[in-house]
Structure 1
Amino acid sequence: MSTNSAKALFEPFRSAKLSLDNRIVMAPMTRGFSPGGVPSEDVAAYYKRRAENGVGLIVTEGTLINHPAAGASTRWPHFYGANALNGWSGVVNAVHGAGGKIMPQLWHLGITRKPGTGTNPDAPSVGPSGLNLAGEQVGEPLTEAEIADLIAAYAQAAADAKRLGFDGIELHGAHGYLIDQFFWGVTNTRTDRFGGGLVKRTRFAAEVVEACRRAVGPDFPIMLRFSQWKDGAYDARLAKDADELALFLQPLTDAGVDVFHCSTRRFWEPAFDDGVDLNLAAWTKKLTGKPTITVGSVGLDLEFTRFFKEKKGAGITGIEELLERLDRGEFDLVAIGRALLGDPAWAAKIKEGRESELRPFTPEATQTLY
């Protein structure tokens, strides 16, 4: 691949609230290198290396909002408490010092959290209806007062992100975690205003976005990551076609989402069986007019779920199709996950035509902070 052929990836991005030097986003990936929930200088250096090597926007690993059942590991970073927030301040300063931009991903596992885990093992796991991803009753439905507390926790995290100097926030509304559990009919059977049909099931997320907007003001970017698939339910669908997707996206757009991060396992796959060759990010941009991020096995010859099933790494593959789609304007930004996990210089090597120097992804990359 020549430098010229990758030109679309290195065009500046400009929207009403976000300006980036290029179209490359570091995808959020759980790392587990923050004992006690506090990100260390090693974590700051890890993100700084990506910024130094030309990543336009870094989205951090999932960071836990201030709720006792948010996470399942004592090594996942918190986004609350003086020590953790001081650690994140160091991360922001390191990334900005390298000329990069960074947003925290705000996260709550919801009912998928294994009971007895995390910082507060005695806290019960929570979900909209107490149903797990198989639709089995494993807990009590959240009360409206508990939902209000969760919304307030997201808003407080957003306010702290702005105060610390982050360049925006991303809300994790994908993969069967808490916000997504409200979206999905299997896990949300509520009959109050937070449940019902597809549109009504967006109410929780919309109120989270609205609360975050009030906390950060009109000009601070809010991104939302969503997916059709769930962890272990890869054929799940929130929307069966483009018409349903439009209904789903409208209240989220109205609530104030600025950028949609459209999580798929393989970026090249069409979103629907309708004969239209548009992926989820392309359809979302077409339907909302908002900027979108595509993601899914970019630069790798093996999609990510097989890494764990087959306990193997992935080789390097070309990104010509990705570049063609980006050049056509199907989506605006490209999130790179595991290819960037094992090779902090991925962006620089692509820009400079040094593909022969790219490092393949190996399982060991998940065990260290390259």
Structure 2
Amino acid sequence: MKRKFPNLSKPIQIGNVNFRNRMFSAPMGGTDITADCTIGRASTAFYELRAKGGAGAVTVSELVVHPKTEGSHMFHLDLQTVGALSSFTYTADAIRRHGSIASVELSHSGQFAGTYLTDKNKKQGLAQWGPSEGLRSDGLPVKALTQELIDEIVAAYGDCAALAKRAGFEMIMVHGGHGWLVNQFLSPFFNRRTDKYGGSLENRVRFAQEVLDSVRKAVGPGFPIEFRMSGSEFFDSGYDLAEGVEIAKLLESRVDLLHISAGTYQQGFSITHPSMFESHGRNVFLAAEIKKHVSVPVATIGGLNDPEMMEEIIASGKADVIYMARALLADPELPRKVMSNRDEDIIYCLRCFTCMAERAVTSTRRCTVNPLIGRELDGTEVIPTSLPVKVLVAGGGPGGLKAAITAAKRGHEVILCEKEDQLGGILKSEQAIPFKYEMYQLGVTLEKMARDAGVDIRLNTEVTKEYVENENVDALIIAVGSEPLLPPIPGLDGENVIVVNNYYLEKEKVTDEVIVLGGGLAGCEAAIHLAQEGKTVHLVEMREELAIDANIRHRPILLKEIEKQKIQVHTGLKGLRVIADGVICADSTAEEQLIPGTTVICALGQKARRNVVENLIDCAPYVAQIGDCVKASTITTAVYQGYHAALDI
């Protein structure tokens, strides 16, 4: 067959190992790490899903090589811990049996030990070791590694590499980026040593060279060794791209693949993991520049998910391999879809950080658009039913679409009714905000998948009790969503007011002086977009804090963007009246003040359409309520509940 993306689909040999394509699954930490720090069965299934989806390689992360100086609750591998070697062996086998190459990331967090602990207070009990003595920004003391400990850690990298090879892993990745220990030695900001490991670049690279030599001695010639590094640290006193090039040149003779990432943990989270406010591929230039100066293959990473962009990166020689992490949570089958020219079926990552927020808060994985993530052991296949029935889905938002697709895949006769003339529900409103366009795109893709699955889609059709009874359905899934919350504020129905959900329909009415009334997630993102368009924006919130409904990973980035865009923020103010010149608000003392503006964007929240639900609740033998019509929530909740409601029929 003629492949639409021939360069992405082309095999590559690294060391003595052949990889089936250029799309690799980047390191992502497991979630059910046992008390002994072995790989739990759910994590094995988590990694296996990306292998099933066609990735050329799947990297298990993070294997802490020296628990004595890095006591984080991450994977450990030794012969003393019962179940350690076998857990790695079963995981490597689960990846390899689908044609993907199993790789493992060897890591040491150095002075950032304990970063991924859910109980952050436990960090106080961990020893924080780094190249140099000092204090972390949070006040924790850092002890300088002695030569004896450096030698132990270097040897530990080799020991773990040898055991990983024994377990069946066919590539080793050494983590030398993102502010972890190897990066701390490379960085002039962290490394203030005066011995052979500090000072000149040649000295600062020495630790990484010793680590790589230890790994090579353990795994032997021809076994692929990959070095992950930040091409630039992107902060003052860190190293820049020019020095990143020199680091790569000093290490290339010891590796088979240079994996060029970006940033550091403590300074550049939204650069290392590009947020929705960053461009896709914003870090590719780092790999492209380093590739000009080295002879080994180079990999790139960072918010990549568009096959056309990734194809161009490979075709133009900017990189040899594309790494994806979040993109392969959203759609583990992305590589397989690329290989078979089905790119129109890709479910794109929204860069919403639900995946990383859940790991930090609950020590689990969840993906907004993929209900399988973190629950792979429950089954990843939709099994056809032996008793197909007639199903009606009321509502064509993300939850309703996911329910309809899943029910149709099971073999049911499915009707989906949407009262408006377009599917997508609340996702439709995102099409006018460039950094949220992928949310709108999600609705478009789900609609295509529903039609391909044979769902009978009926637009401009409101579902009533009589409608359901006339259709004589066996199952009804109510997914009628939510509606804007519009308090009885005088003037809120005026011509100068646009409800945030309708912005995409009325954006031409927006003037240059805008007030966003409501500082939740939707209001904050609308304010950022309008400020990016050059408008003067006032953001008004009744509570003392903005975006309290945003997840813990997205919220700091959101607040930083509000500051960057110079949005005028007013917290602790309650809207009283909307007038032609703005909004009259009151503070906690009831003192009134005018927030000036000639357009008001109303973003005061959503409320469930419970009145619709209550009229439909007894209309079929099986009735399920999902998503916002139960409680105004998130896309994550709607998709997850829609998927399982269909499985329960």
Which position in structure 2 is the counterpart of 1:103?
A: 103
Residue matched to 1:309: none
On the 8 A contact 1:135/1:186 being kept in 2, the answer is no
Aligned residue number for residue 60 of structure 1: 60
CA distance in 2, matches of 1:352, 1:200: 48
- 1:281 matches 2:287: yes
Deviation of 1:47 after TM superposition, in Å, equals: 1.8
Q: Whose Rg is larger?
A: 2
What residue number does 1:20 align with? 19
Deviation at 1:238, TM superposition (A): 5.2
Query: Aligned letter for 2:186?
Result: F
1-side partners of 2:313 and 2:97: how far apart? 32
Q: 1:71 to 1:174 in 2, by over 3 A?
A: farther
Partner SS for 1:29: strand
Q: Is 1:42 aligned with 2:42? A: yes
Q: How many aligned positions are there? A: 337
Which residue is equivalent to 2:331?
A: 343
Map of 1:303-314 to 2, 5 A cutoff?
A: none
CA contact (8 A) 2:9 2:339 kept: yes
Q: Does 1:205 align with 2:208?
A: yes
CA pair 119-205 structure 1, distance change in 2 beyond 3 A: farther
SS for the counterpart of 1:249 is helix
Counterpart among 171, 182, 185 of residue 185 in structure 2: 182
* Match for residue 167 of structure 2 among 158, 164, 169: 164
The Cα offsets for residues 67-115 of structure 1, whole Å up to 9 and x where unpaired, read as 2232533xx2222334222101000111122221111101111001249
Gaps of 5+ in 1: 271-277, 300-317
| Aligned partner of residue 139 in structure 1, secondary structure | strand
Distance 2:282 2:85 in 1: 39
- SS of aligned partner of 2:296: coil
1:296 is the counterpart of 2:302: yes
- Aligned partner letter, 2:52: E
The alignment partner of 2:104 has SS state of: strand
- Contact 2:55–2:335, Cα closer than 8 Å, also in 1: yes
Residues 117, 204 of structure 1: CA spacing in aligned structure 2 closer, same or farther, 3 A cutoff?
farther
> Structure 1's 51 and 241: CA in aligned 2 closer, same or farther, altered over 3 A?
closer
- 1:244-263 maps to which residues of 2 (within 5 A)? 244-254=243-253, 256-263=254-261
Structure 2 unaligned runs (5+)?
263-271, 275-279, 356-364, 367-372, 377-649
Counterpart of 2:320 (choices 328, 332, 343) is 332
3-state SS, counterpart of residue 195 of structure 1 = coil
| Cα distance, 1:132–1:3 mapped onto 2, change above 3 Å | farther
Within 2, Cα distance between the matches of 1:88 and 1:322?
31
- One-letter identity of the residue aligned with 1:100: S
CA distance in 2, matches of 1:262, 1:133: 26
| 1:10–1:351 CA contact under 8 A, matched in 2 | yes
Residue in 1 that maps onto 2:537: none
- Identify the structure with the greater strand proportion: 2
Q: How much does 1:21 deviate?
A: 0.7
What is the distance in 1 between the residues matched to 2:288 and 2:71?
A: 32
Q: Which amino acid aligns with 1:347?
A: P
SS in 1 for 2:252: helix
The alpha carbon displacement at 1:173 in A equals: 0.6
1:64-75 alignment, distance < 5 Å: 64-73=64-73
- Paired letter, 2:259: H
Read off the aligned partner of 2:261 and give its amino acid letter.
S
| 1:312 matched residue in structure 2 | none
Q: Which residue identity does 1:138 align to in structure 2?
A: P
The amino acid of 2:314's aligned partner reads L
Shift of 1:251: 2.5
DSSP-derived class of the 1:27 partner = strand
**Distance change in 2, residues 1:15/1:124 (3 Å):** closer
2:203 is matched by which residue type in structure 1?
A: K
* Structure-to-structure mapping, 1:210-229, within 5 angstroms: 210-228=213-231
CA distance in structure 2 between the aligned counterparts of 1:164 and 1:181, rounded to whole angstroms: 29
1:134 deviates by 5.4
Q: Which residue of 2 aligns with 1:92?
A: 92
Q: How many angstroms apart in 1 are the aligned matches of 2:323 and 2:336?
A: 15
Deviation of 1:358 (Å): 2.6
Whole-angstrom distance in 2 between the partners of 1:26 and 1:236: 31
Q: Distance in 2 between matches of 1:241 and 1:77?
A: 31
The answer on 1:143 being equivalent to 2:135 is: no
How big is the shift at 1:202?
Answer: 0.5
Distance 1:71 1:260, change over 3 A: farther
Matched position secondary structure for 1:150: helix
Cα drift, residue 193 of structure 1: 0.6
Change (3 A) 1:236 1:212: farther
1:124 to 123, 127, 141: 127
- 1:118, distance to aligned residue in structure 2 (A): 10
**Aligned counterparts of 2:218 and 2:179: Cα–Cα separation in 1:** 26
2:7 touches 2:314 (CA, 8 Å); kept in 1? yes
- Deviation, 1:343, is 2.0
- Alpha-carbon offset, residue 132 of structure 1: 5.5
Measured in 1, the distance between the counterparts of 2:344 and 2:158 equals 45
Change (3 A) 1:263 1:132: farther
Shift of 1:34: 1.3
Q: Secondary structure at the match of 2:347?
A: coil
After superposition, what is the alpha-carbon deviation per residue over 1:206-238, rounded to whole angstroms, capped at 9, x for unaligned?
0000111111111211111001455xxx53575
Q: TM-score, normalised by structure 2?
A: 0.48
Once structures 1 and 2 are overlaid, which stretch shifts more, 179-188 or 279-288?
A: 279-288
Partner-residue secondary structure (3-state), 1:287: coil
Contact 2:66-2:108 at 8 Å conserved across structures:
no
8 A contact 1:239–1:248 mirrored in 2: no
Kindly provide the CA deviation profile for residues 325-369 of structure 1, in whole angstroms up to 9, marking residues without a partner as x: 211222110001101023221211222333343334355543342
> 2-side partners of 1:257 and 1:197: how far apart?
22
TM-score, normalization: structure 1?
A: 0.82
CA RMSD of aligned residues (A): 2.8
Shift in alpha-carbon separation, 1:175–1:133, aligned structure 2, 3 A? farther
Q: Secondary structure at the match of 2:83?
A: helix
In 1, distance between residues paired with 2:121 and 2:315? 43
In the alignment, which residue of structure 1 is the partner of 2:31?
A: 32
Q: Matches of 2:317 and 2:132 in 1, distance apart?
A: 39
- Deviation digits for residues 231-281 of structure 1 (CA, Å, limit 9, x no counterpart): xxx535754354x33432232123x111111013456347xxxxxxx7121
Amino acid at match of 1:18: V
SS in structure 1 opposite 2:142? coil
Q: Distance in 2 between matches of 1:28 and 1:280?
A: 19
Question: Which range moved further: 115-124 or 37-46?
Answer: 115-124
- SS of residue paired to 1:189: coil
Residue 303 of structure 2 aligns to which amino acid in structure 1?
A: S
